[in-house]
Amino acid sequence: MSKPIAVLAKRVESRILLIRGYRVILDTDLAELYGVEVKRLNEQVKRNARRFPDDFVMRLSVEEAADLRSQIATSSSSRGGRRSLPYAFTEHGAIMAASVLNSGRAVEMSIFVVRAFVRMREALAANQQIMSKLAELEHRVESHDTNIQELIEAIRELMEPPPASGGRIGFVLPADAAKSSSKSR
């Protein structure tokens, strides 16, 4: 991948957010990437509403928009900024937006958008594999801890002196056994 393309791909990836469990890109970022005004992009979404089901595009709630405003410093409507709630496009919504905009730049950039979403998915899958390996290692360590604890207990039992018995130590010959039994009578 050439340097300008790699930089562009990273730029697209940095604009992908996680909202409502979906990886999305905001309408302002998508419009900038596609080289159109946000107003035109949103007009096309409204005109072609049948092409944009809920899993392709979603309108952010007031709370979500406020959170984004505080996180990424988007302009406030009280200062002459955006007055409507932004749209958030999933991977499929971004591709559909490129098709309804019908501009050369939108088609070119949609390829980068798709690649960025794919890389994000791959990174997530790699993280899940790492997490499952960590869980497996944790289980092994717990099992080793149990085994070590049992081994320590067994060693402690072996190190304790045996209880003292009141009996005599040594061999008893049959003749001695008969003498001791006759004495005890």
Residue 166: inside a domain: no
Residue 65: inside a domain: yes
Residue 101: inside a domain: yes
Task: Give the domain extent around 95.
Answer: 3-132
Query: Could you tell me the mean pLDDT of each successive run of 10 residues in the chain, 185 residues long?
Result: 62 82 89 90 91 91 84 55 82 87 78 79 83 87 87 87 68 67 56
Residue 182: inside a domain: no
User: How much is the pLDDT for 168?
Assistant: 66
Task: State which amino acid sits at residue 31.
Answer: A
The count of domains in the chain is: 1
User: How much is the pLDDT for 39?
Assistant: 92
Q: Residue 40: which CATH number?
A: 3.10.260
Residue 66: inside a domain: yes
- Return the axis-axis angle of helices 27-34 and 104-159, rounded to nearest 10°: 130
User: How much is the pLDDT for 180?
Assistant: 61
Closest CA to 56 of 115, 96, 14: 96
For 2, the 3-state DSSP assignment is coil
